[in-house]
Each structure stands twice: as C-alpha cells, then as structure tokens.
Amino acid sequence: MLVRKLGSIARLSDEERRAVMRLPMTIRPLPGGHDIVCEHDRPMQCCLILDGWASRYQLLAEGRRQIFSFHVPGDIPDLQSLHLRVMDHSLCALTPVTLAFVPHEAIRDLTTGYPGIAATLWRDTLVDGAIFREWMVGMGRRSAYQAVAHLFCEMYVKLEAVGLAENHRYRLPVMQVDIADALGLSNVHINRVLRQLREENLLALRNGWLNISNWPELAKIGEFDPLYLHVDRLTA
Amino acid sequence: MSLHLQPVPIATGSRDAESRLVSADGFLVAVLVRLSEDHGVDEGRWFLEAGFGRVDDQGQPTFADLDEAQAWIQHRLDGQ
C-alpha cells in the first residue's frame, strides 16, 4: 500500500521500491473510535493506514470537535511526528482500521539512504498543506451545499489515486456527524444538503457506498479543481 | 426580560419549514426551526438556525421543545 501511495506521488525506482518494502512494520487492527495517537503524545513511530478511515482532530470546550482531515489507506497521517516531536492534535480511527506502525528510526534511515524517497514524503506533506488550504476556503467561504460537494469530489480523487474508487463510486464509511465536524457545520445542515443532493440526482448514498451520478455537476457546485491534489503528475 | 415567539414559515431549502422568530424586548435574538421527518429520530426537535449577539452559537444546538429552547436562550441573554 505504501509503495502504491508513494508511486501515486512520484515515480519510484526499483531499488527505492525494494527499500520501502523492507521497512519493518507492526500490523495492528484497531476498532472504530479508537485514538491512534493523542495531542501532547511523543510518538516513536508513524502509522500507515492499510484499511479503514482515520481523522486528525482537536477537541474544544463542551466536547465540540473539529476534524482537520480524513485519511484513507496509503496515508501516513502522523508523518509529522518524525520531525515535530510533540503531537499538536490527535489522530483517531473513524472506522475499524488496520495500521502498519513503522519506527521513526527506520523511516529516518530510509530517507537518509534514499533522498528520492525523502523528497517524495516531503512532496506528500506539501500536498497535505494544499489540502488544508482548500479546507480553509471551504470552511470560510463555501456554503454547506458547496462544501459537501467539494469534499465528496476530493475523497473520490484521493481514493481513486490508490485504486480504491472507480466509476465515481466509493465506500464512504464515515458518519454524518463526522462530515459535519470536518466542515464546521451542524448535523442538521449536512442532513439537509445530502437530501438536496440526492433529490437533484447528483448522488446516491446506500449502505455506506457513495455513488456520484453526475460528476461534472457536483464538481461545478463544489468549484472542485483537483489541481491541489497533484495526483495527475504522472500523466501530465 | 421576556421572550416573544412569532411563528413564521421559513425557506431552508428543505422540509424544515416551521420556525419561530424569538424576540427579547422587541429585538430579534434567535430563529428556531422545527426539524421535519427528514431528520429521523430528531424530528420534532427545535434547532437553533440562527442566534444573534449572546445567543450566537457555532455548535447550533437542538432542543427537545420550545420551553427548553427558551430557557437556553434566556440563560444566554442573562449572560451566563
């Protein structure tokens, strides 16, 4: 999965590919809702998501929660802990997940020995920053209707890049309240918007699967331009 | 300070069409919307669609009934 993800960011040589495959990993399943790493922790390892969805978040007063990002298989959502010793936010499993924990030491050795991989991981964190900028626009300037459309388009492109979505259809295992907390909206607004999008025949949500029936229109509503995800690099 | 509730239909773009304008001493302080059957188990609850001044709340709570909503709004207006 890591090779596939890194391969979606940059072209890896056979040697680099083998080095990634040699990384020591401890595979661990975790139930949904379980914290993977918490704010103020000083982790000694990073986790690669093999299965399921995770999110970075922070808790506010009165139990309110802001979700900063959704993470899918192939992501290393706590990669920053390699260089920023103390976690400034928490990371939790939104669904049951399978994670591969890789010791910091091993990633350090890998990036020292293979500058191309270091550059690829750096590039990944830059894309991460680009996604944050888009979310900032969404929270500050998009309507609930546009923000939901944009998020659904973004997740499709991310999942498609690692081979987990095709034909504008993907498994969306998160709950409505997670989407609300990610977009800074109320659950009521998310419910209204989902109904509206369904009634306009733009998408269908059934048994945890999202089917985007009218991609051009949904992308237009969300003003979605996939440029910031930089996944078209290899075909460009 | 007493609250005054005025029923008014609201265009939320959904089936949530019943609302109350909530005023305190003649000033509009909140808009409450009754959640429709679209919201499943939350049907019939009252949603803080908008709150002004001290009643503004990013968390946009919902309330079991109008009494509970008014008590919450009054509490906010009392500065607590």
Decide: helix, strand or coil at residue A25: coil
Using 50, 70 and 90 to split pLDDT, how confident is the model at A116?
Answer: very high
B62 close to A (CB below 8 A): yes
Q: What strand order describes the sheet that includes B46-51?
A: B3-9, B18-24, B27-34, B46-51, B62-63
Whether A94 and A31 have beta carbons less than 8 Å apart is answered as: no
**Residue A2: its pLDDT value, please?**
80
* pLDDT tens, residue by residue, A163-215: 999 999 999 999 999 999 999 999 999 999 999 999 999 999 999 999 999 99
Task: Work out the burial of residue B66: count CB atoms within 10 Å of its CB; fewer than 13 is exposed, 13-18 middle, 19 or more buried.
Answer: middle
- Average pLDDT of chain B is 94
**Residue A11: its pLDDT value, please?**
80
**Residue A193: its pLDDT value, please?**
96
Q: Which among B13, B58, B60 is the nearest to A192, CB-wise? A: B13
A192 close to B (CB below 8 A): yes
* pLDDT tens, residue by residue, A127-153: 999 999 999 999 999 999 999 999 999
* pLDDT tens, residue by residue, A29-87: 999 999 999 999 999 999 999 999 999 999 998 788 999 999 999 999 999 999 999 99
- Average pLDDT of chain A is 93
Do A188 and B35 lie within an 8 Å CB cutoff? Answer: yes
Decide: helix, strand or coil at residue B79: coil
Give B42's contacts in chain A (Cβ within 8 Å): 188
Q: Which residues of A2-41 are buried (b: 16+ CB within 10 A; e: fewer)?
A: beebbbbbbebeeebeebbeeeebeeeebebeeebbeeeb
A176 close to B (CB below 8 A): no
Domains with residue ranges and CATH for chain A: 2-123 (2.60.120.10), 138-229 (1.10.10.10)
**Residue B29: its pLDDT value, please?**
97
**Residue A8: its pLDDT value, please?**
76
Decide: helix, strand or coil at residue B29: strand
Q: How far is B14 from chain A (nearest CA, A)?
A: 6
Do B62 and A192 lie within an 8 Å CB cutoff? Answer: no
Over range B3-26, report the average pLDDT. Answer: 96
Give me the total of CB pairs closer than 8 Å, taking one residue from chain A and one from chain B. 25
A201 close to B (CB below 8 A): no
Using 50, 70 and 90 to split pLDDT, how confident is the model at A234?
Answer: very low
Do A186 and B14 lie within an 8 Å CB cutoff? Answer: no
**Which contacts of A66-71 are long-range, i.e. CB under 8 A and separated by 24 or more positions?**
A66/A181, A66/A184, A67/A178, A67/A181, A67/A182, A68/A132, A68/A135, A68/A182, A69/A128, A69/A131, A69/A132, A69/A135, A69/A182, A70/A94, A70/A155, A70/A174, A70/A178, A70/A182
* pLDDT tens, residue by residue, B33-46: 999 999 999 999 99
Give A196's contacts in chain B (Cβ within 8 Å): 13-14
